[in-house]
Structure 1
Amino acid sequence: MKSCLVVDDSRVIRMVARKILEELSFEVIEAEDGKEALDKCKEKMPDGVLLDWNMPNMDGMEFLLAMRALPDGEEVKVVFCTTENDLSHIQEAIAAGANEYIMKPFDSEIIQSKFLQVGLL
């Protein structure tokens, strides 16, 4: 079973993402900020990460750069999931190593489509 780390400071977003991902047969791990997510990656690297941009303690971009520097961090498929929708944010995320980008709000179809594109499904 593939694992996906859902990183978002919103409990509601994590709950919705968990439901969708479990229906897609993922083991789901949750973190409410980038710092907690990085600690979880150090314990066990997930197959994929659904990542919010704006969070306290460590934002999504800081997490992405730190995770990519870890052993096996380059292998993880990262899909940003955020309200930041201007082209400069999307380009910055992709340049930093994100594999895909989803706008909030999202649904099961959008997650399936993006996870298929990056090879997680």
Structure 2
Amino acid sequence: MTIEIDWIAFVKVFAVALVAAVLVVGLYSIGLRLLVRAGRVPVVAPAEFTDAITVISAKQAAKAEKAAAKAARKSPLSEGQKRVAQLGAYASFGLCAVAVLCGILLIVVH
């Protein structure tokens, strides 16, 4: 019994996976950048885990929120430009979700 590997198919799968990973990460990072430019800096509240390595304090969280609000006020963009940046961010996140859903659909259907 001999095992034959279809190397062309292997290379195709590798190339598609690499392109898809770059596409999803790129779209997400562009969306996040546009969201920050729109003045909507995402601030995530710290989670309390029992065995976490580092947990930020309430004082550190308040400081991070204050810095995010200051950065949003300092934005050189006009209100219209901020709105366009926010719409671009949402479009980028939407395209990222579509790319992920297409990948899942390819796995399920084939």
TM over 0.5: no
Indicate the structure (1 or 2) with the bigger Cα radius of gyration: 2
The TM-score, its normalising length taken from structure 2, stands at: 0.20
The TM-score, its normalising length taken from structure 1, stands at: 0.18
Question: Whose helix fraction is larger, Structure 1's or Structure 2's?
Answer: 2
